[in-house]
Homo-oligomer: A and B are copies of this chain.
């Protein structure tokens, strides 16, 4: 009984990650009931972002400038490139404030099941960047999943010719994680990679 315009809005909101059909309905209502304060500003923000935000031609980050603010920042260390699956991972690493180098967004992971091969990812561009004289380390920061690790191995192979150090993120206990609740794989890895204190 709801109008097609509302149903379409619910449908498109429901495609957002984190919003199921029920919360998409709630979100649509929320917007329609707060036209001035919420719907219009969201419309403007979406339009502005759609018009201004582009993928960085160097690293693949999303930004209103190209090269992106990270690639263009002269303060960032040009020796290290951190390779991530997607822009979300780049942002997550940025939030840690622990990495001052630059990034490279692969745009996905190798996956036989989904038919994603090396030519679908920004691997050739990474190999080209790794060849630059100022680059001395490539950090493979893909997820600790099967596809993530497969991709990391493949990328490491492709970089073998380059004269750069290749590293990957440490695996182990998440900070604040209770042993009791941890999966066996993580626990086993943490045990194998134990670090001597004294």
Contacts and interface: CB of A to CB of B under 8 A. Distances in A.
Interface of A: 1-6, 8-9, 11-13, 15-19, 23, 25-33, 35, 38-43, 45-50, 52-53, 62-65, 69-70, 86-88, 91, 94
14 contacts: A2-B62, A3-B52, A5-B45, A5-B49, A6-B62, A8-B49, A9-B49, A12-B45, A19-B19, A25-B88, A29-B86, A29-B88, A31-B46, A43-B43
B46 A43 contact: yes
A52 B5 CA distance: 7
Per DSSP, chain A at the interface is helix
Given A50-B39, A64-B5, A91 B16 contact: no
